[in-house]
Amino acid sequence: MTRLSVNINKIATLRNARGGNNPDLLKVAIDCERFGAEGITVHPRPDERHITTQDVYDLKKIVTTEFNIEGYPDDRYIHIIEDIKPAQATLVPDAPDQLTSNHGWDTIKYQKQLIEIVEHLKKICRVSLFVDAREDMVRAAKDCGADRVELYTQSYAEDYFKNREKAIEPFVKAGKVAKEIGLGLNAGHDLSLDNLTYFHEQMPFVDEVSIGHAIVCDSLYYGLYSTVQLYKKCLVEL
């Protein structure tokens, strides 16, 4: 079964826009789990423009499903992982001031650096590397020692309405390679109610999808409970 991890960064963005605690990030996390999400994802960036470091510590106390912490593996991030000990650390190659993730690791170019970091973090939790849907990047992620890869799905989302068969093709190939070499497989970025069902139909072997922006946007219309249920329906086994 493909598990749904809800990224709650945008809830924190909305809260931070006015200060105070509305919406209540912890309540949203609890409700997402109560409504059926199998995981909670956060990305505590250095500027704390959405998820703050304190949020991560507070969430650790209440998350009962899989807690996934994304981030660039600098000293700050590694310290957070060492302290929190989440279920999963997802390493992304983001610059500190980057608006959102827009590419995966070059797991060949940065292999030496990643091997050292992954080896350290694997003593604490499962480690996933954020990669583009390329077979060579997936294979090199295995050489880095990663437990999983997360396929960066923006290109699939952008091209879905143009030619969904062509859009999904590199993801199926990369995903099958991941499974063949023993890597767990995650996916995320711009997956939505428009494109998630087809993605899952073509790749039912994905372990986890991490979705945030679209879920928060859809919940404005459908409500959070209905939105989580709609996303879970996209992931029903055929």
Residue found by looking up tokens 């989440």 in the block: 86
Count: domains in the chain: 1
Q: Whole-number mean pLDDT of the chain?
A: 96
Predicted confidence at residue 94, as pLDDT, reads 77
Q: Which of 26-30, 71-75, 100-104, 158-162 has the lowest mean pLDDT?
A: 100-104
Q: Give bridge partners of residue 127 from the DSSP assignment.
A: 89
Closest CA to 171 of 147, 202, 146, 145: 202
Q: What is the pTM assigned to this prediction?
A: 0.95
Query: Which residues are known catalytic residues?
Result: 43, 70, 189
116-133 in b/e form (b: 16+ CB < 10 A) is ebbeebeeebbbbbbbbb
Helices 25-34 and 9-18: crossing angle in degrees, nearest 10, is: 150
CATH number for position 124: 3.20.20.70
User: Which two structure tokens, joined as six digits, stand for 7?
Assistant: 């990224």
User: Which two structure tokens, joined as six digits, stand for 78?
Assistant: 């590694």
User: Would you say the C-alpha torsion 117, 123, 125, 129 has a positive or negative sign?
Assistant: positive
98-115 tens-digit pLDDT = 556 667 999 999 999 999
Does residue 97 carry a pLDDT above 70?
no
Q: What Rg, from alpha-carbon coordinates, does the chain have?
A: 17
Does residue 160 carry a pLDDT above 90?
yes
Does residue 95 carry a pLDDT above 80?
no
Predicted confidence at residue 237, as pLDDT, reads 73
